[in-house]
Amino acid sequence: MITAGDFRNGMTFELDGNVVQVVEFQHVKPGKGAAFVRTKYKNVITGSVVERSFNPTEKFPTAYVERKDMQYLYEDSGLYYFMDMETYEQLPIEKEKLGASFAFVKENMEVKVLSYKGNVFGVEPPYFVELQVTQTDPGFKGDTATNATKPATLETGAEVRVPLFIDEGEVIRIDTRTGEYMERVKA
């Protein structure tokens, strides 16, 4: 059991039969009245985000989310197949459970498959991935001075904004949590 006063970012617990994860929290001690914990939490199954205040002494059962390293193999008729790196068993997962950051995952990449009590609810790619730019407008000499960006399509089909000096065929590093361009990777 954890109390609301012990909340930290990323902590998971059970609330009203659902598994939720703390996104943000703030301990508030007003001049008058009792202290409380203002919390923003996300339902890990549905993805909905809710803001709510808790009494710091409220207790909740801890929810243990299993994060298992698996390798993404391929997609076949709406199911995405992942292989357990230890047992070599394959696990099919529906597209709805993958999340937006899965757009940066290519075949044979290792990811973390998230499950609670045996039910898979999400896939967490590595924080940073290196992908090749397959389509973008050509860059011009001298385009490095401004913060202007242009759209680029990556080898996984995902679209990101990149600086004007990036050309087709270059490999770039992407932050999968935000979907932002980080840097060009030297070959």
Provide the residue ranges of all domains of the chain, joining segments of one domain with +: 2-60, 66-124, 129-184
CATH for 66-124? 2.40.50.140
∠ CA 146-150-152, rounded to 5°:
140
Q: Do domains 2-60 and 66-124 have the same CATH topology?
A: no
CATH among 3.40.50.620, 1.10.3720.10, 2.40.50.140, 3.30.70.2740 for 129-184: 2.40.50.140
- How does pLDDT run across 141-179, given as a tens digit for each residue? 655 556 788 899 999 999 999 988 888 999 999 998 888
Count of positions (residues) in the chain:
187
Q: Which DSSP category does 97 fall into?
A: G
- How does pLDDT run across 99-152, given as a tens digit for each residue? 788 899 999 999 999 888 888 888 889 989 999 999 998 866 655 556 788 899
- Of all residues in the chain, what percent carry a pLDDT higher than 90? 47
Banded model confidence at residue 187, pLDDT cuts 50, 70, 90: low
Indicate the fold that domain 2-60 takes in CATH: SH3 type barrels. (2.30.30)
Return the number of other C-beta atoms located less than 10 Å from residue 187's C-beta.
6
pLDDT the model gives residue 166? 86
- Of all residues in the chain, what percent carry a pLDDT higher than 70? 95
Closest listed residue to residue 60, CA positions, set 25, 112, 28, 98: 25
3 state DSSP class of 28:
strand
**168 to each of 134, 135, 138, 154, how far by Cα in Å?**
5, 6, 7, 9
